[in-house]
Amino acid sequence: MNYLLLTNVAIWLGVSGYVLFLAAKQARLEKRIKHLEFLNDKQG
């Protein structure tokens, strides 16, 4: 039963870890896009 619990924890940590990695990348990407839009507005 302990091994079952261990596996379950590992699986959900792994999947949520990857989803968090995607979310962090997306946040950085949106920040960069906003910065580029700001620079574009400034030039325009």
Partner 1 sequence: MNGFIKYMCILAGLALVVSQYFIWEYAPREATMGEIQRIFYFHLPFAWWAFVCFFLVFVASIGVLAGKGMFWDHLAGACGEVGVLFTTLNLISGAAWAKGAWNTWWTWDPRLSTALIMWFVYCAYLVLRSGSAGSLKMRRISAVVGIVAFLDVPLVFFSARLWRSIHPTVFASSGGGLAPEMWHTVVVSVCAWGVMTFVLLYLRTKQMRAMQRIRQM
Contacts with partner 1, residue ranges (CB under 8 A) = 1, 3-4, 6-8, 10-11, 14-15, 18-19, 22, 25-26, 29, 32-33, 36
Q: How far is the CB of 12 from partner 1 (least distance, A)?
A: 10
Q: How far is the CB of 16 from partner 1 (least distance, A)?
A: 11
Q: Which two tokens stand for residue 3?
A: 């091994």
Number of H-type helices and E-type strands within the chain: 1, 0
Q: How far is the CB of 25 from partner 1 (least distance, A)?
A: 6
